[in-house]
Amino acid sequence: MVDIGQGFLIQVDPESLRAAAGRADRVSDDLAAAAFQAYGADAEAWQAQARGLGHRISALHSEVHGLAGSLRYGADVYEAAEAGWILDTQGRGSAEGAAALADLDRLAAQYAGSGADPIADGRLLRAEREGHALDDVLENLAAIPDLRWVISALFPSTAASGVAGALPPPGLLAAGAYTALVARGRGVVARGAKLGADPNPQEIAVEGERPRASAKGAPTGLAGAARRIPGGPDDLARVETYTFDDGHQEHAVYVQGTREMLQDGDWNVIPGPEEGHDTADMESNADIYLGEVESEAYRGVVQALEEAGVDPGEPVHAFGHSQGAMIIERIASEGDLQVDTAVSYATPQQALLDDTLHVNLAYTDDPVAALTGAGVPGPAGAAGSVVITDTFDPGPDPLAPMEPHLLENYLALAAEADASADPRLEGVRDVFAHLAEADSMRTSTWNASRVPRGDG
Amino acid sequence: MTSDPYSPTAVARGFLTRARWHLEQAAPALAALASEVAWESPAARLFRERVDTQRREACVLIDECDSASAWLEAHELRPVDPAPAEEEGR
């Protein structure tokens, strides 16, 4: 079942919880008054059926009163947990750290002597969420078939047979390697973090078509936007330019994920000459995720936006899947373009943004999406930023581990979110409604290839 | 026989009318709270269930105010006499 939250800790923003508590307070006041009156009836009508009503209304009042208290306490626990995360990740010396410390001091003073401790409960909540962030993926990886018997069958009388028996099961091996990779902490991009220059850069060629008028109009929701993410070998990115009646322009960009896993036989993750022609490969993944440098695919998308006529001051609404999502996260984080909206389907990195409406969709058992680790505890962007999650549960299919990651499966999660009445999705719904008001739209697709060394 | 507005049953009915009025404010407010909190999360679903249970309890209590009032009204038109009341209770 779809789960919408602001981050891995904060399900609902504390202010909304406090507002709900205020509404519950008003109900509670009515019930207190009703109980008072019913007790009056009790006292007068000694032989009447009214007896016991006062007690029952009073019990209901206590429940509603307790509900309001729980909502307020929940808001404080969320804030305490988020403040703890900020202190641990950004330190006391930072402005955010100092504000977090002040929040914790305020909460400590507020609850002193009350017997309740939102700071301790926040710590427990965070430990619980972080401790179980990878559970679904690790369960998924455990489904990798154990093929050690193949080695023994092929080499029954050799040492290789014994080696096979001594190897840990592949699922266990994969789970260990995966956990170690996530523990490197590359999943969250600090606010304002910049990509460095690629120490092993390669010239790229960005080719695209001339933008053409389209009658397609804006996508109507998250699923519609996901369907516009390109999937072919020659279209790394699709750019749409919307022109409004006042003449101003806004753009939507859709970036596809990794297309080429094996073009050099080593997934291109071994440092060295980047010979692969296709920039949307594992080398580009590793460049950003592990190397924190501008990959060829990243540069290709940035150049495509320039060539499509995107002015740095014009609003950009960006959508991407997998590596494409990581690229739009980083373009938004860099701040060179005015990215008003970033919608990531299965991103391995989640950037902390300020003014961008930031929406992340992730299956909890998607090994790529879970590379973010637990992720960000609260909103990772402007008001309306949310994280939309669900569990895909691919079942015992031997190819199961990557099933949740497929874009076609993210369409289902996006459609679930589109169908939801959750008011927190109003921000992203407004983006689609706004784009639909444009007078016209032009579209173009772009590709980025590495120029073989010596040809450049 | 006429109704005595100062009889214990009449006074009790007045209390019940006011209790009912407050419950009538509470029940739709609880329904509104459950629907306004339309968040998609397991905790929010539990919250809505809890609030809906409270709303149903408020509605039951409104009905009980009504039946208690009706019972009191039926007994207002005759003198309070413990004996018949006991008989009726059997």
Cα A53 to chain centroid distance, Å, stands at: 50
Closest approach of A20 to chain B, Cα-based (Å): 7
Q: Please say whether the beta carbons of A291 and A226 come within 8 A.
A: no
Q: Encode chain A (456 residues) as per-residue pLDDT tens digits.
A: 899 999 998 988 899 999 999 999 999 999 999 999 998 887 776 555 556 889 999 999 999 999 999 999 999 999 999 999 999 988 888 888 999 999 999 999 999 999 999 999 999 999 999 999 888 888 887 777 665 555 566 556 655 556 556 666 677 777 888 888 888 889 999 988 899 998 888 899 999 988 899 999 999 999 999 999 999 989 999 999 999 999 999 999 999 999 866 665 555 556 555 567 889 988 899 899 999 999 999 999 999 999 999 999 999 999 999 999 999 999 999 999 999 999 999 999 999 999 999 999 999 999 999 999 989 999 999 999 999 999 998 876 666 778 899 999 999 999 999 999 999 999 999 999 999 999 999 999 999 999 877 654
Q: Do B41 and A38 touch (CB under 8 A)?
A: no
Tokens of B57: 């309890």
Q: What DSSP designation does A361 have?
A: E
- Direct distance between the N- and C-terminal alpha carbons of chain B, in angstroms, rounded to an integer: 25
Q: Where on the phi/psi map is residue A217: left (φ > 0), alpha (ψ -120 to 50), or beta?
A: left
A403: CB partners within 8 A, 6+ apart: A392, A394, A397, A409
Amino acid at A62: S
Distances (CA, A) of A319 to A254, A287, B70: 5, 20, 64
Tokens of A99: 């504000």
pLDDT (tens digit per residue) in B46-86: 999 999 999 999 999 999 999 888 888 887 655 445 555 45
Classify strands A386-390 and A237-243 as parallel, antiparallel or unpaired: unpaired
Closest approach of A44 to chain B, Cα-based (Å): 5
Q: How many CA atoms lie within 13 A of A320 on its CB side?
A: 34
Whether A177 has its CB under 8 Å from any CB of chain B: the answer is no
Instruction: Identify the three-state secondary structure at position A163.
Output: helix
Q: Where on the phi/psi map is residue A428: left (φ > 0), alpha (ψ -120 to 50), or beta?
A: alpha
Q: Please say whether the beta carbons of A233 and A373 come within 8 A.
A: no
What was the pLDDT predicted at B1?
46
What value of ipTM does the predicted structure carry?
Answer: 0.83
Whether B74 has its CB under 8 Å from any CB of chain A: the answer is no
Whether B5 has its CB under 8 Å from any CB of chain A: the answer is no
CA distance B27 to B19: 12
What was the pLDDT predicted at B73?
83
Q: Give me the residue from A24, A50, A423 closest to B68, CB to CB.
A: A50
Cα A94 to chain centroid distance, Å, stands at: 25
Q: Do B33 and A63 touch (CB under 8 A)?
A: no
Chain A positions in Cβ-Cβ contact with residue B80 (cut-off 8 Å) = 47
| Residue A111 burial class via C-beta count within 10 angstroms: exposed 0-12, middle 13-18, buried 19 and up | middle
Cβ atoms within 10 A of the Cβ of B19, count? Answer: 30
Cα A22 to chain centroid distance, Å, stands at: 30
The model's pTM: 0.85
Q: Please say whether the beta carbons of A322 and A368 come within 8 A.
A: yes
Amino acid at A129: R
Instruction: Identify the three-state secondary structure at position B14.
Output: helix
| Residue A129 burial class via C-beta count within 10 angstroms: exposed 0-12, middle 13-18, buried 19 and up | middle
Instruction: State the DSSP string of A92-153.
Output: TTSHHHHHHHHHHHHHHHHHTTTS--HHHHHHHHHHHHHHTTTHHHHHHHTTS---HHHHHH
Tokens of A203: 């010239």
Short-list A312, A322, A315, A213, CA closest to A259? A322
Tokens of A77: 């626990």
- Direct distance between the N- and C-terminal alpha carbons of chain A, in angstroms, rounded to an integer: 51
Whether B46 has its CB under 8 Å from any CB of chain A: the answer is no
Closest approach of B1 to chain A, Cα-based (Å): 19
Whether B31 has its CB under 8 Å from any CB of chain A: the answer is no
